[in-house]
Structure 1
Amino acid sequence: MDNELKMELKPIGLVNSPIREKPANGFNWREIVAEIVIRPELAEGLDGLADFSHIMVYWWMHQATDPAKMALKVYPRGRKELPPVGVFASRSPYRPNSIGRATVRLLERRDNILLVQGLDAIDGTPVLDIKPFIPGYDSPAEGASAPEWATRHQRQV
């Protein structure tokens, strides 16, 4: 691309999690309860969110920004016995843009704090956006499929 678009993202809040550093591959995030602390001046933007059981959280993987670790081909889940795939066919944290996303259970809202379950982001992670999960609208299309390695240990929140 000749004309690179310059973007500026500002965090809307931070993750407060008991997980302080990236755990080993295969770690089960399903039971982890964390807080998302939204900037106080944005708290009004959370009105109505507690009516949803699940939310989608988008964040910046702030500890996965080393360009030397970004590769276009990676081993799925770091498993060298599997054939490499393109980075966009993986969940590798080392990407051209280190954006993370998860659909998590919303347990509670207290003013500017969201209590969530299943967020696979470490303590101090900057949150970029939050959207409600709407069944049917945000669910996969009929006939969606994935390779066996990707579905063997599916997340369930």
Structure 2
Amino acid sequence: MTEIVMTPIGKVQNDVVNRKDVSWGEDTSSIVLEKEYVSGLKGLEDFSHAIIFFFLDKAKYEKEKHLQRRPQNRDDMPLVGIFSQRGKDRPNRIGMTSVEIVSVSDDTLVVKGLDAVDGTPVLDIKPYYPVYDKKDATVPEWVDRLMEHYF
């Protein structure tokens, strides 16, 4: 396969120093862009939500441990494959979260609900389009239980 190289466009700044599995909805994060990408924020202030793509630099994927597991390692969750969940230890350390936009300034996007720790490299930002991003989606029953205290 072809190697893929990406360069971060910025980084996350927040008070979260350790990885966690719940309560991300209370966290406010700033995404501070590299100078060359600052003008790319123009127009984002007109959106209520964005999708943030980031590099899970602290993740450590182990095939035997993570390819199939119970979400959040909870005994009340079914055994499912990594592609059926949004666990942080993945074959390719790509994270993605839809977030609420709090504010947009010269070089910073402030968001709520980003599940990334302080210093996480940001790969891309896309506006949230309800017509594309929230269709009539269904999830298994266990996902609702899993997410009860996540946000």
Q: TM-score, normalised by structure 2?
A: 0.91
The 3 A distance-change label for structure 1 pair 121 and 55 is same
Gaps of 5+ in 1: none
Q: Which amino acid letter does the alignment assign opposite residue 65 of structure 1?
A: K
Structure 2 counterpart SS, 1:19: coil
2:14 — aligned with what? 17
Output the CA distance in 2 between the equivalents of 1:69 and 1:60: 22
Cα root mean square deviation, aligned:
1.9
Output the CA distance in 2 between the equivalents of 1:139 and 1:64: 28
Q: TM-score, normalised by structure 1?
A: 0.87
The 3 A distance-change label for structure 1 pair 98 and 105 is same
Structure 1 counterpart SS, 2:30: strand
The question of whether the paired residues in 1 share the 8 Å contact of 2:78 and 2:142 is answered with no
Sequence identity, in percent?
Answer: 38
Gaps of 5+ in 2: none
Q: How many residues align?
A: 150
1:77 — aligned with what? 72
The 3 A distance-change label for structure 1 pair 69 and 52 is farther
Matches within 5 A, 1:1-157: 4-23=1-20, 25=21, 27-67=22-62, 71-140=66-135, 142=136, 144-152=137-145, 153=147
Structure 2 counterpart SS, 1:11: coil
